[in-house]
Structure 1
Amino acid sequence: MKTAKFFMAFIAAALLASCSDDKDYSGDFGQIKVPDTRQLEQTVSADDTQSARGVTFTTEGAWTSTIAETRAEAPAWISISPDRGDAAGSYTLKITLEPNTSGASRTATIVITCGTSKIEITVTQEGADDPIESTPANRIMRIDSRQQTIRNSGDSDPERWTSTSRFTYDDAGRLTCYEWDDTPENSADAMDEVLRISYPDAKTLKLSAETTESPEKGSYTVTLDDAGRAVAARSDNGPERWTFAYDGNGCCKECTYSGDEYHNYPRTVCRWTGNDLTGLDIYQGKEVDFSYEFEYHADRPNTPALCNLDLNALLFDVCPDIEDADFFMGSVLSGIGRLGNRSAHLTNTNPDESEFSVEPLPDGSFISFRVLNERIEWKQVGGRVTEAIWIQEVECFQKKDGKETVIPERGYTEIETHQIFY
């Protein structure tokens, strides 16, 4: 048992320490001083969510940090606080971890840099005794969605739409086909939209998109880096180009787009807090035109071991992406795990417009709608996500000469329900 081994190792370490209390463990790393270098090597059990010991150090100036993992994928399971310091002083680093649901141990290295000096903190989290493996049982096979708009006026027959999505995988568990149909009751008909994914080699993805509304097919080539992350994508039939850049923690920090002369938003900068994507800044030229802010359920983890696809991206577009492009490259690549880290938690935000205007009136006024509140509820069974429900309440008002008059009967509540099947 890993627990017993860990306990015996802890006892052995304690006995060794009791025999060596007079040893000096301090370390001088130039502009960084560490009073106890034993803190630089830490091992915790699979279910620990916080390192048993913090790391205390003193710097002679401002400092920064990065986190890298010994394996190819980025370390979404570990974060630190604080992650930087603006001045010289003494600091204690708090290390926070996600539970390790796999059977394999994992190791991350935290690098603290001050001027030309640095220290490395190695954190190893043991594998679980009863791991949750990324098996076919955890692969999403179908998502059934429905939407209803319930108006304050008391409509007896609310507006509705339904759709279904189906997913197909190869023998290696990689997604090869994503089909979407907004009329699932007509099962004999072809799916309305189909995205096919192939894997010619370790550095390339091929995407082929088609729809029943158009005889034309969209074909795209995606270039991957050594970690399997998309760094560039291009249309095989036109000038469209996407590029993606990553920070030292493996998070997508920027998306750019070119090739469409009518496209207004060629650049998106991503803001991360800890292991969650908390904001997107959308650029028009050199200036930020608008931003999205994201919130999350702190008690709802979003890990590949529990759900192979990123539902934040597939259902709610909470991911790095380019605004208003013809093809949702960011959502697709994020959804299949090819755009660096996914957010560590499930979203509580749908990046929809919070206020929008419609219906100008002859007297110079216009009718507007404003989101009063929204929320996303996630249901889980056996750790797997089985349902997501998005609810938003919308207020209607008339605006003229800076004055607003609420029209209660034109307000409505919109509800989207997504059922996930494995």
Structure 2
Amino acid sequence: MQFFFKMTKLKKSLFLALLTIGVAMASCSDGDDESSKTIEQTGGTQTTQTVFADETTLNNGIKFTATEAWTATITEVATTKAAAGRVDWVELSAYSGGAGEFTLTMTLQPNLTGQSRKAEIRIVCGDTTIVIVIEQKGTKEDGTTPESPDGPDVSTDKLITKIDIDNYTHIGEFDGTDIVDFTYDDQKRLTKMVITKEDETSEGEKITTVSTIVFTYDNDKVSYEQTDVEDGVTSPYKPTGSITLDENGRAVSGTGRDYEYKDKVEEYTFTYSLEYNADGYLERSVRVEDADSEEERLTWSNGNLVSVWWGDGYGTSNPDAIDRAQYGSVLNKTNLDLNWIIALNSEGFDFATGDTNSMFPMLGYTGKRSTNMVEKIIAWTGAPKETFKYVYITNDDAFPVSITEYYNVAMPNEQTDWVKDNIYRVTYNK
């Protein structure tokens, strides 16, 4: 935050200084002079908006004009003596911006609690603040409570056998194709993934790297080991992962080994534990690496993983580091959970299940999966920012056959600028 600030020459200077301060204060005040406001609501935006429990959008959104940079925050309005908590049932299309005219859209999760809930949206621009209160009723318009949806009907016969990944540069130019092949045993368990990549050096030399990940199953344990071969030379560094399952077939603890490639290769190992809620969804993970312990807290709504808290942020406007996911109508029913290996692409989601390679959630060992496929990721990068979005093409059976990933190259305070990042082309055994 920047602060700007002997008839004798001394008296004249003092008068001018006071006049300058008065003008500066007036320009940022929230008084009756409408022309001095740095932010104003437009388009008839109501300061109080109410929806029913099954409504997930507000038609007109929040419209305003700002004369300088602004930030938006959402807080729960406490309806009991309990303290207000973080809000995971309302999302804004943007949380910051510069000068200009804006329309913020709101996405709400269905209210399955049976109780009304309120959230307060504060948009701050300079010394001017506008406040919008959103109330979501505990019932639908007919007075009934929405029911929690059943999980997706996951395929056991239609198996993913191959994914071709078309890569693009930061300016959207095609940059080669990676290939991932999948092999299964007679129990339709994944036993091997082979990832083939071709890179080009600055001298134009082609380098092919083949990474083979082998999975083993032993009663209440599942493990994997990765072997990399670069231009025919096998790497001595082999990332590994292993989990222990409970009586419900869910991972409750795990270990792993991986490497950091800096000036020299550094090996590190880690352990983690996983906890589930009464509905069978993963709600907490704790990862320990050396003497450091990192906690992640996952929030689910309407059968989908909508956010992960992964640390403290900074300041009053960004007190928590929270990555968020928004979902569309495409069902998440492929035999491998593609959300985890394609769409849940941010630092918070990477560490949410303990192993950043996400092999075990892909296999379905971390509790119930999300009902739908992710459409957008809003990652915390010092402030919330729309980071990735996904566009799906499905076949006649509603299985994804193409997933296009777009990356937002804009800075947090700029308008979104989507650039094609990857296209995933999915092949099935039938």
Partner of 2:65: none
2:373 alignment partner, SS class: strand
The one-letter amino acid of 2:404's match is: I
Structure 2 portions without partners, runs of 5+: 1-53, 55-79, 82-108, 118-137, 201-205, 258-266
Q: Larger deviation: 343-352 or 243-252?
A: 343-352
Counterpart selection for 1:233 from 254, 261, 265: 254
Distance between the aligned counterparts of 1:380 and 1:81, measured in 2?
Answer: 29
Say if 2:391 is the partner of 1:377. yes
2:377·2:386 contact (CA, 8 Å) conserved in 1? no
Measure how far apart 1:256 and its partner are. Answer: 1.0
Q: Cα–Cα, structure 1 residues 407 and 240, in superposed 2: closer, same or farther, change >3 Å?
A: closer
Say if 2:371 is the partner of 1:344. yes
Partner of 2:426: 420
Partner of 1:57: none
Structure 1 portions without partners, runs of 5+: 1-49, 51-60, 63-78, 103-132, 152-156, 357-369, 398-403
Question: Percent identity between the aligned chains?
Answer: 18
Partner of 2:227: 210
**Across the two proteins, how many residue pairs are aligned to each other?**
276
Distance between the aligned counterparts of 1:268 and 1:96, measured in 2?
Answer: 24
Measure how far apart 1:210 and its partner are. Answer: 2.3
Q: Once the two structures are superposed, what CA deviation does each residue of 1:302-337 show, in whole Å capped at 9, x if it has no partner?
A: 12xxx10111111123698553999525x2111111
Counterpart selection for 1:197 from 215, 222, 240: 215
1:312 alignment partner, SS class: helix
1:281·1:288 contact (CA, 8 Å) conserved in 2? no
Partner of 1:316: 343
Q: Once the two structures are superposed, what CA deviation does each residue of 1:116-147 show, in whole Å capped at 9, x if it has no partner?
A: xxxxxxxxxxxxxxxxx621xx1101100112
4+ residue segments displaced more than 6 Å = 370-373
Distance between the aligned counterparts of 2:353 and 2:249, measured in 1?
Answer: 23
2:341 alignment partner, SS class: helix
Q: Cα–Cα, structure 1 residues 282 and 384, in superposed 2: closer, same or farther, change >3 Å?
A: same
1:178·1:194 contact (CA, 8 Å) conserved in 2? yes
The one-letter amino acid of 2:216's match is: S
TM-score, normalization: structure 2? 0.54
1:295 alignment partner, SS class: strand
Measure how far apart 1:194 and its partner are. Answer: 2.1
Q: Cα–Cα, structure 1 residues 407 and 149, in superposed 2: closer, same or farther, change >3 Å?
A: farther
Q: Cα–Cα, structure 1 residues 240 and 192, in superposed 2: closer, same or farther, change >3 Å?
A: same
Partner of 2:156: 134
2:274·2:353 contact (CA, 8 Å) conserved in 1? no
The one-letter amino acid of 1:145's match is: I
Counterpart selection for 1:260 from 281, 290, 294: 290
The one-letter amino acid of 1:193's match is: S
Distance between the aligned counterparts of 1:288 and 1:390, measured in 2?
Answer: 29
The one-letter amino acid of 2:326's match is: E
Superposition map of 1:11-410 within 5 A: 81-83=111-113, 85=115, 92-98=144-150, 134-135=156-157, 138-149=158-169, 151=171, 158=173, 160-183=175-198, 192-201=210-219, 203-212=220-229, 214-235=235-256, 239-261=269-291, 266-283=294-311, 290-297=321-328, 299-303=329-333, 307-317=334-344, 321=349, 323=351, 328-329=356-357, 331-350=358-377, 374-382=388-396, 383-395=398-410
2:339 alignment partner, SS class: helix
2:323·2:377 contact (CA, 8 Å) conserved in 1? no
Partner of 1:75: none
Distance between the aligned counterparts of 1:318 and 1:412, measured in 2?
Answer: 15
Partner of 1:6: none
Q: Cα–Cα, structure 1 residues 175 and 374, in superposed 2: closer, same or farther, change >3 Å?
A: closer
The one-letter amino acid of 1:294's match is: A
Q: Once the two structures are superposed, what CA deviation does each residue of 1:48-79 show, in whole Å capped at 9, x if it has no partner?
A: xx9xxxxxxxxxx99xxxxxxxxxxxxxxxx9
The one-letter amino acid of 1:144's match is: D
